[in-house]
Copies of this chain bind each other. A is one copy, B any other.
Amino acid sequence: MDLHRIAKDTGKVLASYVTYQALRTILTQLSETDPPVAFWLQQFSANSNVQDGDVFIQELLNARQDLGFRLMTVREHIAAEIADYLPEMLQTGIQQSNLEHRCRHLERITQLSTPDGIDPDMPSPL
């Protein structure tokens, strides 16, 4: 298992996702303060590659540098605000989700192996 590569790839995906969230934030702000620019940015992002944060910023800087700089500032701010919560969120999120999957699966196979169906005295697992 190449954990070094996995960590690096995850960092890149994370940065692109934060860039996307920064874009959504700016769209919300502009829709209140400057609707024509919000409309322009909406159209621009619909025709661009938002999946790759760096490609998107490059294209936006070339088209409207003020919005490109704003996007960089906002994504840096979001990253600073949420970074410290990520380890805990990732680990407990996956542990919690695994536990739920295990329980649901156990309920499912227990039901399947009961020939007479569900015991009416037992509370429904669903």
Instruction: Tell me if B21 and A14 are in contact (CB < 8 A).
Output: no
Which residues of chain B are within 8 angstroms of A75 by Cβ–Cβ distance? 94, 98
Instruction: Tell me if A81 and B14 are in contact (CB < 8 A).
Output: no
Give me the interface of A with B, judged by CB distance under 8 Å. Answer: 1, 3, 6-15, 17-19, 21, 25, 53-54, 57-58, 61-62, 65, 68-69, 72, 74-76, 78-91, 93-95, 97-98, 101-102, 104-105, 108-109
| Nearest Cβ on chain B to A48's Cβ, whole angstroms | 15
Question: Which of B10, B80, B109 is within 8 Å of A21, CB to CB?
Answer: B10
Which residues of chain B are within 8 angstroms of A84 by Cβ–Cβ distance? 87
Question: Roughly how many angstroms separate A75 CA and B65 CA in the complex, as a whole number?
Answer: 40
Question: Which of B61, B68, B72, B94 is within 8 Å of A15, CB to CB?
Answer: B94
Instruction: Tell me if A90 and B15 are in contact (CB < 8 A).
Output: yes
Instruction: Tell me if B97 and A15 are in contact (CB < 8 A).
Output: yes
Which residues of chain B are within 8 angstroms of A79 by Cβ–Cβ distance? 90-91, 94
Question: Which of B10, B72, B82, B109 is within 8 Å of A7, CB to CB?
Answer: B82
